[in-house]
């Protein structure tokens, strides 16, 4: 990434949209100092801000990265999805108010209230609402994925006390509504979920421990779940000399999801790894063929 070119593009498009640095910063929930540093080429936007920043400026992520607008139909370029569903987190508040009661009924009222709370708590526990972290519906409205922070069980309670990332997929099928349960193990934290435009695939991001990010591709038609880190070959990011050197263990490549392609077959991913020299960049991954294309490495000196 060329910080100066990207910064100049941000400044020009911001002014074209009639926004001040402060207004752009407020929409991104950052400080106007950060926007000023981008536009002066001192530093580059954080990875997590690339997509929302590109959306506000009316350009694609790749155009923002390259620091220039591209023609509407670029020959040999993978089509891009300009928008995707914004991750929404809902907060549910459950409250109960009680009025003043006569003194002679206070004991009975307290007992009734305690019983109601116990029953309500048991129902909430069984329903999973206490552990619901995210709920994402597919674009066609036929499927929904709920992400929970506890492991699903069937007896005696629906959820155990064990911390885990658990997903429940509900699909409308000719035979009725079908549920699929998947557990992603212990010491795992949830980071996000993104549906493909065709509503037949989604990507789940979790972090194992403190250092390892895992992207799992779920295909509803094939009924498969694929760890992308296990299927994208390492040789794409390493030189021939590095591949020839004996290693105690291969360098760990970390991937981050950016966006789906319009055809729902490809997705734009960010990669980074340290094989002696830290490297990072972007590429398109085809979910059906497993092929990698459009590799855009970032210059360590510039980005």
- State the pLDDT confidence band at 44, using cuts at 50, 70 and 90: confident
Q: Alpha carbon 138 to chain centroid distance?
A: 14
H or E element at residue 24: helix 21-28
Residue 177 CA to residue 5 CA, distance in Å, equals 51
Give the model's pLDDT for residue 89: 26
Q: What is the pLDDT of residues 157-200, one digit of tens each?
A: 566 666 678 788 888 877 778 888 888 877 788 999 999 999 99
C-alpha neighbours within 13 Å on the C-beta side of residue 195 = 21
Residue 60 CA to residue 285 CA, distance in Å, equals 17
Residue 114 CA to residue 111 CA, distance in Å, equals 5
Give the model's pLDDT for residue 197: 95
Tell me if 249 sits within 8 A of 234, measured CB to CB: no
- State the pLDDT confidence band at 249, using cuts at 50, 70 and 90: low
Concatenating the DSSP letter of every residue in 151-191 gives EE--SS-SEEEEEEEEEEEEEEETTEEEEEEEE--SSEEEE
Give the model's pLDDT for residue 4: 86
Q: What is the pLDDT of residues 46-81, one digit of tens each?
A: 888 888 888 898 888 888 888 888 776 444 444 444
Q: What is the DSSP letter of 85?
A: P
- State the pLDDT confidence band at 285, using cuts at 50, 70 and 90: very high
pLDDT at 105 over 50: yes
Residue 70 CA to residue 97 CA, distance in Å, equals 59
**Model pTM greater than 0.75?**
no
Tell me if 265 sits within 8 A of 197, measured CB to CB: no
């Amino acid at each position: 990434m060329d910080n100066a070119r990207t910064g100049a593009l941000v400044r020009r498009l911001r002014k074209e949209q009639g926004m001040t640095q402060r207004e752009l910063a407020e929409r991104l929930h950052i400080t106007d100092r950060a926007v000023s540093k981008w536009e002066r080429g001192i530093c580059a936007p954080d990875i997590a801000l690339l997509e929302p920043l590109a959306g506000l400026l009316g350009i694609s992520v790749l155009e923002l990265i390259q620091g220039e607008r591209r023609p509407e139909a670029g020959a040999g370029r993978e089509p891009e999805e300009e928008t995707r569903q914004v991750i929404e987190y809902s907060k549910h508040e459950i409250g109960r108010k009680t009025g003043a009661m006569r003194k002679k009924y206070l004991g009975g009222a307290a007992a009734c209230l305690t019983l109601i709370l116990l029953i309500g708590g048991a129902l909430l526990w069984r329903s999973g609402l206490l552990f619901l972290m995210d709920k994402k519906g597919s674009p066609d409205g036929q499927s929904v994925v709920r992400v929970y922070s506890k492991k699903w069980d069937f007896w005696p309670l629906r959820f155990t006390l064990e911390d885990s990332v658990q997903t429940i997929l509900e699909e409308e099928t000719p035979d009725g509504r079908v549920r699929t349960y998947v557990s992603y193990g212990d010491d795992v934290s949830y980071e996000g979920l993104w549906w493909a435009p065709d509503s037949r695939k989604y990507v789940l991001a979790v972090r194992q421990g403190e250092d390892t990010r895992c992207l799992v591709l779920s295909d509803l038609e094939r009924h498969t779940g694929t760890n992308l880190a296990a299927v994208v070959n390492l040789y794409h990011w390493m030189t021939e000399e590095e591949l020839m050197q004996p290693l105690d263990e291969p360098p760990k490549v970390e991937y981050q999801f950016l966006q789906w392609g319009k055809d729902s077959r490809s997705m734009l991913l960010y990669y980074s790894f340290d094989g002696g020299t830290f490297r990072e960049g972007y590429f398109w991954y085809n979910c059906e063929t497993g092929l990698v294309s459009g590799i855009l490495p970032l210059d360590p000196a510039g980005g």
